[in-house]
Amino acid sequence: RRILWYVVLSSYFHVSLLSFLLCSAEDKRASCSILLSSTYRLNHQLVGWVGWSNPFIASTSPRRRSTPFPAIAMPMERSTSSPLPLALLSFLLFLPILHGKFTGGAGTADGSEEWGYVAVRPKAHMFWWLYRSPHRVDDGSTPWPTVLWLQGGPGASGVGLGNFLEIGLLDVDLNPRNSTWLQRADLLFVDSPVGTGYSYVEDDTALVKTDQEGAADLTALLKKLFNENEQLQRSPLYVIAESYGGKFAVTLGLSVVEAIRAGELKLQLGGVVLGDSWISPEDFVFSWGPLLRDVSRLDLDGLESANSVAEQIREQIQGGQYAEATDSWGKLETTISEASNSVDFYNFLLDAAE
């Protein structure tokens, strides 16, 4: 099994390295998308192939944070700490060498896509990927917007999840998405905070420890991108986030306003949008059962069971037992799933198996 670890992870390393090298060249859009997507899928399949918790995810929810190392990865229901294999160490050691090549960005020949790194702090490097919409209409009365998408976690990749699984031009199989937000806005994906996806640090001490530090890094990224690009300056920026990303979005919005007022950032802030934001876990766990009862996915017994677990979570939070509250949240998910015929947690009209 240990040998299989190294075989699979070595494959991941080589795909990642090739994606970096090809994405740095001009007019390599197809190769870049294929390899980034392949990296994403390979990392996702590691769990099924090897049967161990994915060490690449910094986390995909507040209760699943295990390790700060980078990846583009799928959410997992459970995660435990795993030793960092040699192949991943090789990949991480190679990143500082690659960084010099990508600082300043690269892109497609037609300018429809750009990507690159920004050194947001010493030893902290953030990866970004900008898509310009083919539907763009330059109208002075209604400026074309730009959306900055922030993923949850903290530690889920916006470049991977948000782009290939949710709102980007292509899906993970590189098929054009039937509906993409690119039809209405330019899209800016970022792997944030540093240590997520292709964003990395040269020293673990450079990892962020608070939402404010994460927002400061994002503000530094925006200063670099917007202050040097007049087209972006004319486009109102909408910061849109899901799950834990909502905390980063709010703190980023405040940081951006302060930077604009100080004359440090040439940017029009259009607004901040929060989707299923994980900003008050205690309130959330008490809203889940009643919502599903209102849409007939839980009966009265199911609602009572859900609220009972929610009350346990509240007591644990108030008592400072955050690890225990996190485990109880998992228990709440199980309770609701069993009582609702496995309701899909993202769409109550569906069952999880659909």
d(CA 330, CA 145) in angstroms, rounded, equals 38
pLDDT computed for residue 111 by the predictor:
83
Q: How many domains does the chain have?
A: 2
Same domain? 245 vs 331: no
**How confident is the model over 280-299, as a mean pLDDT?**
92
Q: Can you name the residues that pair with 343 across neighbouring β-strands?
A: 351
Give residues with Cβ within 8 angstroms of 27, minimum separation 6.
108, 109
In a domain, 93, yes or no: no
Q: Which residue has the higher pLDDT, 37 or 276?
A: 276
In a domain, 2, yes or no: no
Same domain? 172 vs 234: yes
Same domain? 73 vs 210: yes
d(CA 182, CA 162) in angstroms, rounded, equals 12
Lowest mean pLDDT among 37-46, 137-146, 324-333: 37-46
Q: Give 320-333 pLDDT, tens digit per residue.
A: 999 999 999 999 99
Same domain? 330 vs 202: no
**How confident is the model over 9-31, as a mean pLDDT?**
46
Proportion of the chain above pLDDT 90, given as a percent: 54
Same domain? 161 vs 248: yes
**How confident is the model over 123-141, as a mean pLDDT?**
89
In a domain, 216, yes or no: yes
Out of 245, 275, 305, a domain closes at 275
- To which residue do tokens 């503000």 refer? 219
pLDDT computed for residue 274 by the predictor:
92
In a domain, 288, yes or no: yes
pLDDT computed for residue 76 by the predictor:
31
- In a 3-state reduction of DSSP, which class is residue 26? coil
Task: Please determine, for residue 179, whether its predicted confidence score (pLDDT) is greater than 60.
Answer: yes
pLDDT computed for residue 104 by the predictor:
57
Nearest-10 Cα torsion for 7, 61, 157, 83: -30
**How confident is the model over 236-265, as a mean pLDDT?**
94
pLDDT computed for residue 312 by the predictor:
96
CATH number of domain containing 108: 3.40.50.1820
Out of 275, 294, 327, a domain closes at 275
Q: Give 59-116 pLDDT, tens digit per residue.
A: 333 333 333 323 333 333 333 333 333 343 344 334 444 443 344 568 788 888 999 9
Q: Which residue has the higher pLDDT, 203 or 96?
A: 203
Same domain? 133 vs 252: yes
Give residues with Cβ within 8 angstroms of 227, minimum separation 6.
233, 265, 266
Instruction: Identify the domain containing residue 306 by its residue range.
Output: 281-351
In a domain, 124, yes or no: yes
Same domain? 184 vs 269: yes
Same domain? 165 vs 250: yes
Same domain? 338 vs 294: yes
State how beta strands 269-275 and 237-242 pair. Answer: parallel
Task: Please determine, for residue 47, whether its predicted confidence score (pLDDT) is greater than 80.
Answer: no
In a domain, 259, yes or no: yes
**How confident is the model over 192-206, as a mean pLDDT?**
94
Same domain? 242 vs 132: yes
Out of 254, 275, 296, a domain closes at 275
- In a 3-state reduction of DSSP, which class is residue 354? coil
**How confident is the model over 171-188, as a mean pLDDT?**
92
d(CA 253, CA 265) in angstroms, rounded, equals 12
Same domain? 233 vs 286: no
DSSP per residue over 51-104, as a string? -S--TT-S-SSGGG------------S--------HHHHHHHHHHHHHHHHHBT
pLDDT computed for residue 105 by the predictor:
66
pLDDT computed for residue 66 by the predictor:
32
Same domain? 298 vs 264: no
Predicted TM-score (pTM) of this structure? 0.68
pLDDT computed for residue 90 by the predictor:
40
Across all residues in the chain, what is the average pLDDT? 77
Task: Please determine, for residue 311, whether its predicted confidence score (pLDDT) is greater than 70.
Answer: yes
- Cβ(277)–Cβ(247) below 8 Å: yes
What sign results for the dihedral spanned by CA atoms 191, 197, 199, 201?
positive
Q: Give 208-240 pLDDT, tens digit per residue.
A: 999 999 999 999 999 999 998 988 998 999 999
Proportion of the chain above pLDDT 70, given as a percent: 69
Task: Please determine, for residue 7, whether its predicted confidence score (pLDDT) is greater than 70.
Answer: no
